[in-house]
Structure 1
């Protein structure tokens, strides 16, 4: 179970990383100020990533609330199982990304076709559903991969 510090530290880091971009997204800045804020955002992101790597590599137990009873036991697995889980995650993630791109292109066109002629609703809905099918197929493939492990 996570304690409050383990929950709050990542939330605070996410807020600190995204804080410089708030005015950029609102559009109230000139180009130089937006560029400075973007560089600050990128630098803070890499500082957090490097700090996380250093914190995980070092044997710091500052945030550890208690040791578990089964500290000597560890989860064991083969490299093939690890690669299988990575491939399942990539299948789901990349198919969802592709589906998002497909729907982002098809949905506005479907809305435009529907607004011009109401008879085009069924035809245009098929193209939007085909884009979503890509994500479902990727999820199906990842379930099949995990079942083989």
Structure 2
């Protein structure tokens, strides 16, 4: 992560966003590297403080319907208990079976970035093929996201 340089902003923008940063992402679709501008700077988020969120990517997994059915089967006419049961079950299933899409995306991007940096100095056909495979995996992960 680099500080946002003067060529990407003017004085008014810098005054509004003094913590602004920019990150160059690896190339995945074209020969240009995308940039991400963060106006608040980098802040680490604590996943324990996040509220539960349903992930649409779960719907792509063949075992997800089993998690839903098992969670709601013993609902005993208590909607709140069923929601609590589903939330607990799906969070466990996500960690153990599905995996974290965002973590997988970051992992794939980091590998692609590393290969692209290495390839600028030392070309390897095997690394080129690996990069193409990782880009396909990344695009699949983006679809899930």
TM bracket (short chain) = under 0.3
Looking at CA atoms only, which structure, 1 or 2, has the larger radius of gyration?
A: 1
Q: Which has the higher strand share?
A: 2
Q: Which has the higher helix share?
A: 1
Higher relative contact order (CA 8 A, sep 6+): 1
TM-score (norm: length of structure 2): 0.28
TM-score (norm: length of structure 1): 0.27
